[in-house]
Amino acid sequence: MAPPPVTWLVTGFPAFTARALVRELVHGDDPARVHLLVPADRSAEAESFLRELRPLGSTARILEGDAVRMDLGLPGRDYVALAREVDVLASLYDVSPLPDDGTGGYGGLYGKLGEPAGLTVRAVEEALEFAAAAAPRLRQLVQLGSLTVAGDHSGVWTEEDLTAGQRHRTDAERSRHRAERLLWRARDRVPFTIVRVGTLLGDSRTGESGWYHGPHDLPELLLALPPAAAWTRVRPPAGLHAVPVDHLARVMRVVGTEPPERSGALHVAPAERLPLAQLREALEAGGGTPRLPRTLRGRLRKRWGSSAAAVARSLWRIDTPAAISTRRALDVERAAGLTQPRPADYLLHLAAHVRARVAAEARRLAEAGVEDALDA
């Protein structure tokens, strides 16, 4: 007799990570029941997203609520009933992935509910409250984390490290650090895994990436830089701990359905950084550098900085200078038969998608009368 489907509650929509995880769950070999928590003003977007999916033996439904509100913004009776049936809570709410620590490009992705740096902490507080209400059924709380909690630490950063004398460079790093501390304090009563990632890239199979929020416009930024940018005061990192978003989703699925024996963190990132030069070369392959619309270039400058030094500082802030240990994450991946996609296998897919969306953005701006299509 087949085991019953695993029941998931996924927060964080409309972020690209939440979309990737839901796709992985409903398209996987093992059936799953997915509750997707969605703010009311994003319901139509969520319904359109779910219609695009082709579940095989799985189900996905929308719950109107909010990850940073008391009881997740749900009526009390609904909250209690949901807690009784959820096996895995995937807490993916993070409004601070921006290089300017979340203030410049916030843009209402989750609605104006408070200061961006504080919302990530509030979301973890509510996730822990829900996990306590769901006990003892809850198998795992899977928390989206970031390697940037390492701050300016430049030594070896292990999976279990949280504090190693580092200084935090942005409000985003401080808020993520505070959120992780809440989880570690609850480790005796709530089973959890923090999945720390570096810079998220698009899907390794399709190249699809998040639209222009968060760090998902990194490829366009690299295309906007001159080939020999005058890095005068600050040099950019030579490379980034880049992770395709579909690999992150697969690891989260494994962690949720086959939880590790003890709570802790995983560094889901390649041991070797992806060189920025290699990423740019892939973006330029097959047709040279596409011309970016002026309006898009303006948004890039506003988000990442207008000078070479400012852009370099932004690039440092979306990753960590530390040498990370990936031992524990590799153990989990190998046990599940997972391997990280190789850049050589996915960069061309990413480049094709980026070129297509630059062209789509140029058409959109032209149709809106913002720019002439010839300018792009």
| pLDDT, tens digit (0-9, with 9 covering 90-100), for 17-76 | 999 999 999 998 889 999 999 999 889 999 999 999 977 788 999 999 999 999 999 999
Residue 234: name the closest of 321, 147, 104 by CA: 321
> Tokens standing for 303?
């988000």
> pLDDT (tens digit, 9 = 90+) per residue, 71-84?
999 999 999 999 99
C-alpha to C-alpha distance for 12 and 214, rounded to whole angstroms:
13
pLDDT at 230 (0 to 100):
60
Q: Are 104 and 136 in contact (CB under 8 A)?
A: no
| Helix axes 294-304 and 343-367, enclosed angle (nearest 10) | 120
pLDDT at 267 (0 to 100):
96
Residue 285: name the closest of 357, 349, 208 by CA: 349
For residues 156-167, b (16+ Cβ closer than 10 Å) or e, as one string?
Answer: ebbbebbeeebe
Other beta carbons within 10 Å of 363? 13
> pLDDT (tens digit, 9 = 90+) per residue, 137-150?
899 999 999 999 99
Q: What is the pTM of this model?
A: 0.92
pLDDT at 234 (0 to 100):
77
Other beta carbons within 10 Å of 287? 9
Count H helices and E strands in the chain, helices first: 12, 13
pLDDT at 94 (0 to 100):
80
Match 């850049």 to its residue by tokens: 343
By CB neighbour count within 10 A (0-12 exposed, 13-18 middle, 19+ buried), where does 148 fall?
buried
Could you tell me the residue ranges of all domains in the chain? Answer: 6-212+240-274+321-341
Match 């996905």 to its residue by tokens: 60
pLDDT at 191 (0 to 100):
95
- Strand 192-197 vs strand 264-268: parallel, antiparallel, or unpaired? parallel
DSSP assignment string, 133-150:
HHTTT--EEEEEEEGGGG
For residues 322-348, b (16+ Cβ closer than 10 Å) or e, as one string?
Answer: bebbbebbbebbeeeebebbebeebbe
pLDDT along the chain (376 residues), means of 10: 86 92 93 94 93 87 94 94 95 67 40 63 95 87 95 91 89 89 94 95 92 77 73 82 96 96 94 90 80 88 83 88 93 95 93 91 86 56
C-alpha to C-alpha distance for 300 and 217, rounded to whole angstroms:
8
pLDDT at 108 (0 to 100):
39
Give the H/E segment covering residue 156. Answer: strand 156-157
The Cα-based distances of 267 to 199, 203, 243, 272 in angstroms read 12, 19, 11, 13
CATH no. of 6-212+240-274+321-341? 3.40.50.720
